[in-house]
Amino acid sequence: MSRSPLPFESLWAFRIVAETGSLTAAAAALGVTQPAVSKRLRDLELTLGCSLVRRSVNAIGLTKAGAHFAEELQSGFSQIQAAVDHLRAQPAPLRIRAYTTWALRWLIPRLPRFHAAHPGIDVEVSTSTAIVDLAREGVDAAVQTVHADAAPPFGGRRLQAVMISPFAAPSLLKGVPGPWPASARLLGSKVRAGDWDLWLRQASTDAMQPPLLFESTTLAIQAAMEGLGIVICSPSFVREEVETGKLVALSDISIPTGDLYWLFLPTGRIGEALGTFADWLVREARTENTLPDQKP
């Protein structure tokens, strides 16, 4: 037979009444009226099917069953409080906002190394292309791009330059005499819609048709792996695919777009966990040598 859940508010009210010996004191401690405390006690007695308190005109006391129940409740509530204190003592995870493709293809593959070095710091990653407001959105830090000519974010940390290069599936290159299949569809993302124009100008090549733009570079990369066309993206996003032969680099060089990845940090004092993550992220970014010689 199933048991009805005990009303926690009534249990807590009974505990305070047992501790203070007074409805008035219990009401003050709970921030409710005295009749509200009396009702909670009556509800608890109805639920349990026994009397817990003796009521008189000017006093209230515990029955034998009530005294025994209060003693056992004290032990239970002590365990609950200990569990709450332990939970509150755990450090909250760092909440990091980033672009989808950068998060999926750059940050997350590297996070196991961070957790191995700093097992006490958890990192939660969310994605968005919108300009972030750290304070309003409850985000600890964010990775976004800023043009090299623009004013850098106050207190931010430079990470790396946004580089691009074309990639295609091996199946798309079969039977092609040169390195560039002229009839292939160009693939890109709406977020970085101008990357193909930039690349083609650098290569002094005219596009046969406008690029097919996806919602994210991640989708464009997947489309390229399926043989739909040539994707323009950061070489770091497809390093694994190139190493495993799923994609082929169509150029030996990558060009800078003029944008830089920045780690946006809150103003004021930076917590120890966030500072540790920021230092690690800068070191990881610098290992790729995609940022001109600058001080952090």
CB 75 within 8 A of CB 48: no
What amino acid is encoded at 82 in this protein?
Answer: A
**pLDDT of amino acid 295:** 34
**pLDDT of amino acid 13:** 85
The band of 158, judged by pLDDT with boundaries at 50, 70 and 90, is very high
User: What does CATH list as the number for 8-89?
Assistant: 1.10.10.10
**pLDDT of amino acid 2:** 46
Nearest to 18 by CA among 103, 76, 84, 88: 76
Share of the chain above pLDDT 90, in %: 46
- Residue 296 Cα distances to 97, 142, 148, 271, 285, angstroms: 20, 17, 14, 18, 11
**pLDDT of amino acid 98:** 94
Query: Domain map of the chain by residue range?
Result: 8-89, 92-296
Q: Which CATH class is domain 92-296?
A: alpha beta
**pLDDT of amino acid 179:** 64
CB 255 within 8 A of CB 163: yes
**pLDDT of amino acid 292:** 40
User: Which is more confidently placed, 239 or 73?
Assistant: 239
**pLDDT of amino acid 192:** 94
Mean pLDDT is lowest, of 97-101, 115-119, 166-170, 173-177, for: 173-177
**pLDDT of amino acid 87:** 59
| pLDDT at residue 127 greater than cutoff 60 | yes
pTM confidence score? 0.67
Question: Using one digit for the tens of pLDDT, what is the confidence trace for 173-213?
Answer: 887 666 677 778 999 999 999 999 999 888 777 666 889 99
Average pLDDT, the chain: 86
| pLDDT at residue 290 greater than cutoff 50 | no
Question: Using one digit for the tens of pLDDT, what is the confidence trace for 9-47?
Answer: 888 888 888 888 888 888 888 888 888 888 888 888 888
DSSP-derived secondary structure for 66-100: HHHHHHHHHHHHHHHHHHHHHHHHSPPPEEEEE-H
User: Which is more confidently placed, 90 or 240?
Assistant: 240
| pLDDT at residue 118 greater than cutoff 60 | yes
The band of 296, judged by pLDDT with boundaries at 50, 70 and 90, is very low
Nearest to 68 by CA among 51, 88, 89: 51
Question: Using one digit for the tens of pLDDT, what is the confidence trace for 61-84?
Answer: 888 888 888 888 887 877 877 676
CA distance 140 to 157: 14
| pLDDT at residue 124 greater than cutoff 60 | yes
User: Which is more confidently placed, 58 or 12?
Assistant: 12
